[in-house]
Structure 1
């Protein structure tokens, strides 16, 4: 029995060798699986960072369009204001020149003040006397200076407009934004893999199907340039902005007083009122002309001829008038329907006496970029996807740069990479949403800030390229490109 036990020695070693080989194999697979999982996680995180960076560039491009459109609108508002000031300056000059002719009693304060108290108002009488006695020359000079200064503003306004349009054209030029986006995405990917091999941004599906990066604008299909007759939306925005200035929209007042006895006794008997009517306003005519007009007329009742004629005749006596246009030299618009604050309809003689001058350096409303889909029932969202690839030879696995890869006897279990690469896909969305007025305030309404601001739950602010509230987020589910 003692001799038999000696022959059984070492049998457990054979079993132990097999167990050790199995453990080493499991350890190898555990290492390889961990490395694959780490590589995949890093590639997915990098794809998310790349997609978000691309979305930020697109959102900034849309916000740049919005800011530049608002700058173009501001230029139009300035033109409207300068046209209004020029018309007002001309009106002031003619008003000072004509006042003594229309109101000769203004030359004498003993007559002017009592007459003003009865016929119009005290302030008008004081102004009338002061103007005719001391200020005619100064007021006329001031009016002409305002007109000249307003005209000088048009040249820098047009230069600013050209600069803004040039920057928009560069942004939307074929391949400019696309190539810039590709460079940024590749740089983000390289920074994430600094010192750890190469990764390639293999696809960016913000492009139309089949288009090459050098042939199109990354925003192609989502934005459109509107020109010529399609500038109506810009015209609406420009008018709303310009008419927020009350001086541009309308410059009206009326002063009335009963006809004074013993003059025009028939009109006194009929309780008629004389009046001074001031009318003025500025208007955008069609799409290429701003026009302003200012008039003031005295409307007086006089007795009808003959003792038996009880009729009172109302006559317009123009006092002041001015008119200014800003339009391209070759475009004289049809102005027959212009209201101009009611000036042509209320004071027709004064309106006819106003000499119209045009600033032909003005080029009209500019072309502009806006969304292609302007349907207010749809919320505009621009989606895109990116695909990152990493060669299997560059990964820290048994198929790449790990120590096992350099040991053929250990590296008998190869990774099965499809086409020899590891791939990750990420997507993003550029969307429009006004930020919360008060951060982290649930009452602001996270899903509808415009409704919370206006107090109308059924109203939503729709995205456009006139408000710079474009943001980016990652897509939850992304299908492979």
Structure 2
């Protein structure tokens, strides 16, 4: 009996040892699988962080170009405002000088209107319109030239920022990957050269381009239309029609009616002016003109018969009737030779705010004489600006079609030696070590992201920031005129997966 029990105990010990060994192997397998899965997850997170950071850089470059484009548009409008003001002041000073003496004497005969004009006449010389015009002319050229230099600085900044972004994006991506997983890095093999670098270069050279801003291309027309649009320019630039001097109306005694009785005397000044972008987009042209007109009536007695006589004060021999004019140009010097300018100029600005048709005598004289010395020979629209390529024509608001055609796909790897498994802990205990089976000498994963444009026709707090909705309830397509570029991760394509597998 004791012998049987002893034999039975030995068999149980062997079974326990076998079960313990199997359990140990199962634990090692579970440990290795868990460590590999954890490392894989960490590596994927690092890759996603790197790809997303790269796409954020691309989106920021687009937004930088958008802000620069908006700044160039605003400064072009500022140039238009400056030459508009010079033309306006020159016209005001010219009109005052031309009609000064005659109007003073004429208005002296109309007492009710005299205080307004004499109040203007009584302004001290430093504040008089002629002094203001002289002072403005001394600084306007410097101001226009400074703004044009600033515009070209924005133009250069766009080019530099785009080039620097393309050159540094992979350095940033690799740094972000390492910050998320110190043992990982962007692979430097065939996949990077064949896919990642190719995508980056295509984004650099093909997705956005430097377009001409001052030729006859559609791209140049697009920029010019944004500049002269009624939402960019103000009414003072487009159409400066106004009555800069007071209207005279009086039925008091006037010396016009010698031997008769005055019935009425009226006189007013009609002013027109406007600023145009020239047809070739290389000049800003401004013209202003003022013309006076009026009439008076007298009653004469011929015997016992009253005879009314009506006469016009718009007599070419009267200097105040001719009025004055002003002009200005930024860009190529020389005569006007342009009545309507660029086809996109607002209708209100045509014929220089209606000056050539509304006050033809002084305006026509100024048009023939020219706008004067240019404020900046390098003026007009700048040579280039950056925008998406002409072939980018999104069909809808989906990510892939509205600015998302250029992905950035990266392959991230981590060496097998850095992966913590049972062999790392057990060291030389080769008899009980379970070697993890990894394809190749490293663990690899893919991640892809892209920049895209999104400005919907409605707010959606679940996706984008509230307040990005357009006021006109329309969906805006991708461009570099508004900074609504974002970044997002995207699915890897089958071709990218195959390229990664083939590179291992």
> Shorter-chain TM-score: what band?
0.7 to 0.9
1:435–1:469 CA contact under 8 A, matched in 2: no
Counterpart residue number, 1:72: 72
The 5-angstrom pairing of residues 88-107 of structure 1 reads 88-106=88-106
Is 1:224 paired with 2:209?
yes
* Residues 423-462 of structure 1 mapped to structure 2, 5 A cutoff: 423-434=444-455, 454=471, 459-462=474-477
State whether residues 325 and 359 of structure 1, in contact with CA within 8 Å, keep that contact through their aligned partners in structure 2: yes
Contact between 1:172 and 1:217, CA under 8 Å: does it hold in 2? no
Distance 1:289 1:45 in 2: 54
Paired with 2:490 and 2:269, the residues of 1 have a C-alpha distance of: 66
**Partner of 1:119 in structure 2?**
none
Task: Determine if the alignment matches structure 1 residue 416 to structure 2 residue 464.
Answer: no
Q: 1:333/1:32 Cα in 2 relative to 1: closer, same or farther (>3 Å)?
A: farther
Say if 1:297 and 1:350, in contact at 8 Å, map to a contact too.
yes
- Residues 1:351 and 1:259: Cα distance change in structure 2 (over 3 Å): farther
1:393 is aligned to 2:410: no
Q: Which moved more, 1:352-361 or 1:138-147?
A: 352-361
Decide whether the 8 Å contact of 2:46 with 2:178 is kept in 1: no
What RMSD, in angstroms, separates the aligned Cα atoms of the two structures? 3.9
Matched, 1:13 2:29: no
The aligned runs of 1:88-237 (5 Å cut-off) are 88-106=88-106, 108=108, 111-114=109-112, 116=113, 125-132=114-121, 138-173=128-163, 176-194=164-182, 197-202=183-188, 216=201, 218-227=203-212, 228-229=215-216, 230-237=219-226
Structure 2, unpaired ranges of 5+: 259-263, 298-308, 341-349, 497-504
1:297-446 aligned at under 5 Å gives the runs: 297-300=291-294, 317-329=321-333, 334-337=337-340, 338-354=350-366, 355=369, 356-357=371-372, 358-366=374-382, 367-372=384-389, 373=391, 375=393, 377-379=395-397, 380-382=402-404, 383-398=407-422, 402-404=424-426, 406-417=428-439, 419-434=440-455
CA separation in 2, counterparts of 1:244 and 1:70?
A: 13
Alignment deviations for residues 365-390 of structure 1 (CA, whole Å, 9 cap, x no partner): 12101112463644422233222122
What number of residue pairs does the alignment pair up? 449
Distance 1:166 1:368 in 2: 9
Distance apart, 1:291 and its partner CA: 1.2
Quick one: distance in 2 between partners of 1:315 and 1:233? 47
**Which secondary structure does the structure 1 equivalent of 2:322 belong to?**
strand
Give distance in 1, aligned partners of 2:75 and 2:2: 111
Q: Is the 1:205–1:385 contact (alpha carbons within 8 Å) kept by the matching residues of 2?
A: no
Offset of 1:290 from its aligned partner?
0.9
1:120 aligns with none
**Alignment match, 1:122:** none
**Quick one: distance in 2 between partners of 1:290 and 1:342?**
17
TM-score, length-scaled by structure 1: 0.80
What's 1:289 paired with? 283
With over 3 angstroms needed to count, the CA separation of the structure-2 counterparts of 1:386 and 1:242, relative to structure 1, is: same
- Do residues 276 (structure 1) and 269 (structure 2) align? yes
Deviates more, 1:318-327 or 1:445-454: 445-454
> The residue matched to 1:216 in structure 2 has which SS?
helix
Offset, 1:84: 0.8
Per-residue displacement from partner, 1:79-109 (whole Å, max 9, x unpaired)?
Answer: 011101111221122122112245243563x
Post-superposition offset of 1:34: 0.6
TM-score (norm 2): 0.77
Where does residue 22 of structure 1 map in the other structure? 22
2:61 aligned residue: 61
- Residues 432 and 470, structure 1, Cα contact 8 Å, conserved in 2: yes
